[in-house]
């Protein structure tokens, strides 16, 4: 898997876990945390769509640099995600079924990836299933409290092919949804996304999950599906 594809895989896998498919009832935690996770599981099972603002930071281990970004997040069952970045520059990352498309307005370009290309990428969509077997893939435990507004849970992959070392979720005890997603990547960089203005089950339209970008956009196609192009684009890379 390429570095770019792996970065996409890590971000999108985390969002799939957070938004739609963490049946946490089976965890062997005791007391109030177990009760909370049971209520989160009930909440997630009724979730059909979600929209939120997000603040994202990437902490670069090698240099100590922090890269910040902002935007809007949209998710809809069964397999659609849109990350609409507004800062530091406009771009969109759309996941639809097994395809990822990244629209870069500054380059007038779309990059397209097929998530069926490898076993690791296929594993992404296991998180749409009822995940009573989540503990088969992750070691799950309470995480250190970082903010009194949230309860934190740590998920450590049991296989190296996951693409990240661990995933920490901060669960909003009022919304009963994860609002903090923190991913430590294999190379040591840490990506953190904090959600705000969360709205659920508003009936997001099909058109929201289409890239209507007009004429003349170059498509860089890594999917092998060179004859297909996103809605509204006139040029497909051959």
Residue 149 backbone dihedrals phi, psi, to 5 degrees = -75, -15
Q: What is the pTM of this model?
A: 0.78
Q: What does the pLDDT look like over 96-150, one tens digit per residue?
A: 877 888 899 988 999 888 765 444 444 444 333 333 446 677 787 888 888 888 8
Q: Does domain 3-221 have CATH number 2.50.20.10?
A: yes
Q: Where are the domains of the chain?
A: 3-221
pLDDT of residue 7: 54
What is residue 72's predicted lDDT score, i.e. its pLDDT?
Answer: 95
Per-residue pLDDT of the chain (238 residues; tens, 9 = 90+): 444 445 555 565 555 555 544 444 444 444 566 777 777 777 777 888 899 999 999 899 999 899 999 999 998 887 788 999 999 999 999 988 778 888 999 889 998 887 654 444 444 443 333 334 466 777 878 888 888 888 898 888 887 766 678 888 888 888 888 899 888 888 888 989 999 999 999 889 999 999 887 778 888 888 765 444 444 443 333 3
Q: Where are the alpha helices (DSSP H) in the chain?
A: 3-20, 32-45, 119-122, 134-137
- Model pLDDT, residue 123: 44
What is the spatial distance between Cα 61 and Cα 79, in angstroms, rounded to a whole number? 32
| Greatest C-alpha distance within the chain | 58
């Amino acid at each position: 898997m390429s570095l770019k594809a792996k970065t996409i895989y890590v971000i999108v896998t985390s969002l799939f876990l957070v938004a739609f498919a963490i049946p946490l009832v089976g965890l062997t935690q005791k007391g109030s945390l177990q009760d909370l996770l049971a209520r989160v599981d009930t909440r997630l099972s009724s979730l059909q769509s979600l929209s939120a603002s997000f603040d994202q930071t990437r902490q670069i281990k090698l240099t100590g640099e922090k890269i910040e970004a902002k935007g809007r997040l949209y998710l809809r069952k069964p397999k659609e995600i849109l990350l609409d970045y507004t800062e530091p520059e406009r771009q969109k990352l759309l996941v639809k079924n097994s395809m990822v498309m990244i629209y870069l307005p500054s380059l007038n370009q779309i990059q397209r990836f097929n998530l069926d290309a490898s076993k690791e990428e296929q594993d992404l969509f296991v998180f749409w299933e009822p995940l009573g077997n989540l503990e088969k893939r992750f070691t799950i435990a309470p995480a250190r409290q970082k903010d009194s507004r949230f309860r934190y849970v740590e998920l450590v992959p049991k296989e190296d092919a996951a693409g990240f070392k661990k995933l920490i979720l901060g669960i909003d005890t009022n919304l009963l949804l994860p609002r903090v997603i923190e991913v430590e990547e294999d190379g040591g960089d840490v990506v953190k996304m904090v959600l705000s203005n969360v709205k659920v089950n508003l009936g997001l339209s099909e058109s929201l999950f289409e890239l209507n970008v007009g004429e003349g956009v170059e498509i860089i196609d890594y999917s092998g599906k060179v004859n297909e192009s996103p809605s509204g684009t006139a040029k497909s890379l051959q």
